[in-house]
């Protein structure tokens, strides 16, 4: 083994760590399109205290792997784990809540007026609001004998009787917990009726009212009002609105790490065209079949079973995770290939991250890594997407050894935000496929109204400078979340 290869392997040995819905209405009425504004919690280019990335993914990864053990298949995450948050309005009259946007959880929940240990202030500079069921004229508690509760838990709960609330309790692997009960109320948003045109709209959703939070959920440092989950379960807001005929069960995101902001949309994207790969059935997360990896056009020689899907194995697409985690064997082979032409580089341990000095363009000096998935779908990851800047001419590696973070996750490929950025990623739950394409997330996409045939242009946004709280923290970028859905033919588009 060459001396530099031995040194690289020694560096790689460091403890690296970057971190069933209510029945559809027989007459759903006019479908809606809507706008939510989504802000980013972490900097797209790293920098500052990069240990925040490590803490974020540490909590996120443990809970992701434990999600199958909780009653609702992954009920939300503590407040330091979501990368993006959006402003929504609930109740009548409507009140504003800031909730994390998360593709790995399955319900919308907010902190309740009766909550114990719920933070009243946020270190993010946001004014937090506790939901009060009695203050909303359209709010009502969900009892344990109602259809939503029975569908959620797979049948009627023991000891259930009329007027007993449908409760939930989730305890995560790191000791964080959330306990509360379900409420049905009005979710309000801005309907998209044409290119850049909106009008008020709403839909009825059932969501969690958090009565007690423990662990990190009670921490005010990066606290928010709750979580909005975009998972596959029937309890998600997306599934409920789809069951009511208000939205297509398709969503997409385009995260812009160059200018900040981007797009998060619900609806059928017709431009750009996106190639897809099947989602693996009966899995709690967005699992796909990874077939091979090449670096700079050369395929890595890896055992055939290294990508096999099974219990605590396989590949998960998760925009809520910051970095990408690879099994140790894959991680070492990828890193050896990446640095093959850079034998003179000296590695530094910066807050337990593998970092190095480099004065040139990383895109010019390092190879592209390509992940190949079932049905010939490729994910191209460029050097600026698997490295992140951390000061002048200092770069750190965004791929991590999964075995160094979680014993249970040592055989899982977990692909996070950095490798998904600057790509349009489409989650088509109606056809059970996921796909992506390289894209300029500062531009726009076109989404079709399948009922009228109208096609709307959805532009990117960066609204971090217009936060309602006056917040100007530089690394918190933003998105617009657009609910681009079926619009009845009598609406003007």
Residues tagged active-site: 102, 318
Identify the H or E element spanning 268.
Answer: strand 268-271
CA separation for the pair 259, 320 (Å, rounded):
20
CA angle (436 as vertex; 245, 34 as ends), nearest 5: 35
Give exposure, 53-86, as e/b (b: 16+ Cβ within 10 Å).
bbbbbbbbbbbbbbbeebebbbbbbbbbbbbbbb
Tokens for 90, please give them. Answer: 């609930």
Please give the DSSP secondary-structure letter assigned to residue 134.
Answer: G
The helix/strand count (H/E) of the chain reads as: 8, 31
Tokens for 194, please give them. Answer: 């044409």
CA separation for the pair 72, 233 (Å, rounded):
8
Q: CA separation (Å) from 374 to 154, 276, 291, 292, 344?
A: 32, 9, 6, 10, 37
CB contact at 8 A, 39 and 255: no
Angle formed by the axes of helices 3-12 and 328-338, nearest 10° = 140
CB contact at 8 A, 286 and 427: yes
Tokens for 308, please give them. Answer: 């096999």
Residue linked to tokens 């009259």: 93
Please give the DSSP secondary-structure letter assigned to residue 41.
Answer: S
CB contact at 8 A, 59 and 65: no
Q: Does the N-terminal peptide bond of residue 185 adopt cis geometry, omega within 30 degrees of 0?
A: no
Q: How many Cα atoms are found within 13 Å in the side-chain-facing hemisphere of 17? A: 18
Tokens for 229, please give them. Answer: 């989950």
- 3-state SS class at 143: strand
CA separation for the pair 420, 438 (Å, rounded):
9
Would you list the DSSP string of 382-438? -HHHHEEE-STTEEEE-EEEGGGT-STTTTEEEE-HHHHTTEEEEEETTTTEEEEEE
- Strand 226-229 with 95-102, pairing: parallel
């Amino acid at each position: 083994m060459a001396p530099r290869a031995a040194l690289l392997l020694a560096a790689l040995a460091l403890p690296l760590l970057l971190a069933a819905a209510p029945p559809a209405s027989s007459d759903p009425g006019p479908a809606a399109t809507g706008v939510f504004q989504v802000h980013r919690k972490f900097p797209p280019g790293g920098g500052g205290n990069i240990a925040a990335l490590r803490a974020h993914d540490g909590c996120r990864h443990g809970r992701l792997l434990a999600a199958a053990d909780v009653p609702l298949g992954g009920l939300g995450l503590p407040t330091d784990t979501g990368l993006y948050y959006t402003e929504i309005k609930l109740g009548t009259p409507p009140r504003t809540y800031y909730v994390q946007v998360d593709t790995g959880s399955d319900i919308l929940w907010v902190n309740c007026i009766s909550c114990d240990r719920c933070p009243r202030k946020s270190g993010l500079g946001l004014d937090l609001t506790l939901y009060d069921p009695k203050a909303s004229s359209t709010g009502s508690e969900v009892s344990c004998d109602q259809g939503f509760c029975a569908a959620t838990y797979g049948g009627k709960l023991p000891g259930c009787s009329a007027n007993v609330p449908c409760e939930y309790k989730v305890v995560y692997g790191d000791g964080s917990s959330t306990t509360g009960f379900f409420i049905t109320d009005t979710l309000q948003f801005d309907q998209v009726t044409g290119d850049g045109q909106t009008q008020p709209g709403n839909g009825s959703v059932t969501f969690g009212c958090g009565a007690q939070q423990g662990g990190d959920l009670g921490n005010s440092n990066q606290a928010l009002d709750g979580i909005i989950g975009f998972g596959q379960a029937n309890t998600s807001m997306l599934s409920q609105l789809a069951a009511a005929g208000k939205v297509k069960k398709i969503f997409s995101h385009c995260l812009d790490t160059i200018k900040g902001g981007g797009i998060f949309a619900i609806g059928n994207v017709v431009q750009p065209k996106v190639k897809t790969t099947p989602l693996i059935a009966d899995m709690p997360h967005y699992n796909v079949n990874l077939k091979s990896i090449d670096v700079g056009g050369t395929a890595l020689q890896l055992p055939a079973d290294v990508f096999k899907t099974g219990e605590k194995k396989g590949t998960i697409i998760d925009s809520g995770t910051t970095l990408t985690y690879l099994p140790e064997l894959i991680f070492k082979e990828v890193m050896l290939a990446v640095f093959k032409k850079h034998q003179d580089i000296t590695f530094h341990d910066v807050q337990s991250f593998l970092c190095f000095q480099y004065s040139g363009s990383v895109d010019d000096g390092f190879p592209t890594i390509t992940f190949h998935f079932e049905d010939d779908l490729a994910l191209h990851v460029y050097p600026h997407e698997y490295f992140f800047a951390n000061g002048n001419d200092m770069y750190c590696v965004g791929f991590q050894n999964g075995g160094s973070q979680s014993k249970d996750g040592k055989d899982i490929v977990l692909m996070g935000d950095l490798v998904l950025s600057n790509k349009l990623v489409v989650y088509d739950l109606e056809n059970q496929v996921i796909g992506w394409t390289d894209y300029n997330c500062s531009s726009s996409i076109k989404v079709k109204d399948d009922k009228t045939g109208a096609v709307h242009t959805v532009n990117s946004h960066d609204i971090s400078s217009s936060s309602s709280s006056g917040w100007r923290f530089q690394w918190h970028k933003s998105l617009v979340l657009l609910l681009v859905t079926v619009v009845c033919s009598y609406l003007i588009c």
